[in-house]
Copies of this chain bind each other. A is one copy, B any other.
């Protein structure tokens, strides 16, 4: 059982093991997915879900971040009239977006170090989850 449900003091954010937000982390993920292959927003939502974004991926977050990244010049989009279903916006990554991925990767690595620093200290004090069983 997820430990966080023992701690019922989290009020805001009803779901998804709160306390930490999805945050700006969608952007590097989307960029990496687009680097793998171009896609439209709806497809990205599905792929994000399989990509560690637990539960529901909010459409608003995805589309707004795509827009923002297009403003940044990290992605480009063009309307694609599909033969089945409504028209959709096909996004591709730009060279600048590729640069951004590398920049993000550095930060992600840095963030991981911080989290690791916390967990190391935590496990040093409380042990490796033994005192944690339910």
Contact = CB atoms under 8 A, between A and B. Distances in A.
A51 B115 CA distance: 11
A60 to B, nearest CB: 19
Q: What interface size band does chain A fall in?
A: 35 or more
A64 interface: no
Number of copies: 2
B20 A74 contact: no
A69 to B, nearest CB: 9
A21 interface: yes
Contacts of A115: 25, 108, 111-112, 115
A9 B73 contact: yes
Interface in A58-113: 72-74, 96, 99-113
Given A3-B102, A102-B3, A117-B51, A20 B24 contact: yes
Interface in A11-57: 17-21, 23-25, 27-29, 32, 35-36, 51-53
Interface of A: 2-4, 6-7, 9-10, 17-21, 23-25, 27-29, 32, 35-36, 51-53, 72-74, 96, 99-119, 121-122, 125-126, 132
10 contacts: A4-B103, A4-B107, A20-B25, A20-B107, A21-B24, A25-B118, A32-B118, A52-B113, A52-B118, A115-B115
